Amino acid sequence: MISKKGCVVLLSGGLDSTTTAAIAIDEGFRCHALTFDYGQRNRWEIRSATEVANRLGIEDHRILKIDLRTIGGSALTSDNPVPKLRDLHGTATDIPITYVPARNTIFLSAALGLAEVVEASDIFIGVNSIDYSGYPDCRPEFINAFQKVANLATKAAVQGGVKFKIHTPLISLSKSQIIRKGLSLGVDYSLTRSCYDPGQNGEACGECDACQLRLRAFRNVGMVDPIRYLPKHPAR
């Protein structure tokens, strides 16, 4: 039996990272999943990530605690309100307040550290073209620059000759295309969560950017989003 090549997948338990993990598995990788407990408002994310990892048969799932509230600067790590029903047709100069300063740089850095420890050279991150329009650290030029850092920063690269690669299989896909891809791979989206500001029992709010994008994408695919929404916002 040939042992599979390992990779590290950043797994938030959201729609994008779950699909990304399924793609990595479909490409023949053995996944080491990394989830961050970064003081985010949505504490349900971590539970979703665990359920997703279990369902996908990922044996090594690590939850890394980093308290980004120490840094602050985002609606997602503070008690400031999350914006609702915002215009989604943002441009590159219209970065939402849900932006977390340097988040993907921090997450990729830790993924790089884990990759080095588990002797993997491939890192998967679910950035995509929708995020691209709002978040600077979801753009291909950022990913390329980070890949250069990875290949200069590590013992594995400098001493071991490893060439790190950052995989972004969703980067040019729309949310609807991501869902179609995931469905074709058997992803169970009922386990995933996207809401920035869920209700007491984890129900999605239906109003934040993440919910709106998700609801619209499921409508475009012609199916009902299988997760639970607060009563006033049924998934239709």
Where do contacts with a copy of itself occur on this chain (CB under 8 A)? 62-68, 70-73, 92-93, 95, 99-106, 108-110, 112-114, 116-117, 136-137, 139, 141-142, 145-146, 148-150, 152-159
Which C-beta is closer to a copy of itself: that of 160 or that of 226?
160
Which C-beta is closer to a copy of itself: that of 101 or that of 186?
101
Nearest to 142 by CA among 179, 196, 103, 175: 103
Which C-beta is closer to a copy of itself: that of 102 or that of 185?
102
Report whether 137 contacts 128 (CB < 8 A).
no
In the complex, the smallest distance separating the C-beta of residue 63 from a copy of itself, rounded to whole angstroms, is 7
Quote the crossing angle between the two packed helices 175-184 and 15-26, to the nearest 10°: 40
Which C-beta is closer to a copy of itself: that of 63 or that of 183?
63
Amino acid, res. 48: S
User: 127-166 as b/e, with b when 16 or more CB fall inside 10 Å?
Assistant: bbbbbbbbbebbbeebbeebbeebbebbebbeeeebebeb
In the complex, the smallest distance separating the C-beta of residue 144 from a copy of itself, rounded to whole angstroms, is 9
Residue bearing tokens 């790590």: 77
In the complex, the smallest distance separating the C-beta of residue 154 from a copy of itself, rounded to whole angstroms, is 6
In the complex, the smallest distance separating the C-beta of residue 6 from a copy of itself, rounded to whole angstroms, is 14
Which C-beta is closer to a copy of itself: that of 64 or that of 221?
64
Is residue 5 within a helix (H) or strand (E), and if so which, with residue range? strand 5-10
d(CA 3, CA 81): 47
In the complex, the smallest distance separating the C-beta of residue 123 from a copy of itself, rounded to whole angstroms, is 11
